[in-house]
Amino acid sequence: MRIIIDGVFNHIGINSWPFEDVRRRQQDSPYKDWFVIRSWDNPQTGERFSYDGWAMVPELPEWREDENGIVAGPRDYIFAATRRWMDPDGDGDPGDGIDGWRLDPVPRSDPPAQQHTSPAARRNGGESLPSGGDALSVEVAAQWGRILLAAQDAS
């Protein structure tokens, strides 16, 4: 049996803990810079909390990006989750982790970290990602596996 996790790394759900914190605490949330916030609740002006949703879907708050891709907070969260599932005991050998990721939607998830590689991300001859959201080739999927595990090392 092989275990593949569905990975969506360019947005999060509306009920996720960091977004819930932003909605509740507004500018006081430590996660406010994780998302593209267009406006905050302002009782004096009547302005309401507004943010960007992936593909204009409000239930899918989009991670904020800069010239380097997803900003540090959510990027570090994604890297920690990736490491947890690909190398659960943290020994640098992903042999005890999941077999790969199904990434969706790949075309909009194109971090500049693609130039980074990591030996720890290579498994089964470099095929750490056997499938993708848009029927990716094994070579492209393996590149994503290397990106996910290596980008934090390169930071």
The SS3 of residue 136 is: coil
Q: Do 79 and 97 share a domain, yes or no? A: yes
pLDDT per residue of the chain (155 residues) written in tens, 0 to 9: 778 788 788 889 999 999 999 999 999 999 999 999 999 999 999 999 999 998 899 999 999 999 888 899 998 998 888 888 888 998 888 888 887 777 765 544 444 333 332 333 333 334 444 334 443 444 444 455 555 555 545 55
Q: Is 65 inside any structural domain?
A: no
Q: Enter the pTM of the model.
A: 0.68
What's the domain range around 138? 4-12+70-154
Question: Six-digit token pair at 125?
Answer: 């001859």
Q: Do 49 and 104 share a domain, yes or no? A: no
Q: Do 50 and 79 share a domain, yes or no? A: no
Checking DSSP bridges between strand 37-39 and strand 50-51, what pairing results, if any? Answer: antiparallel
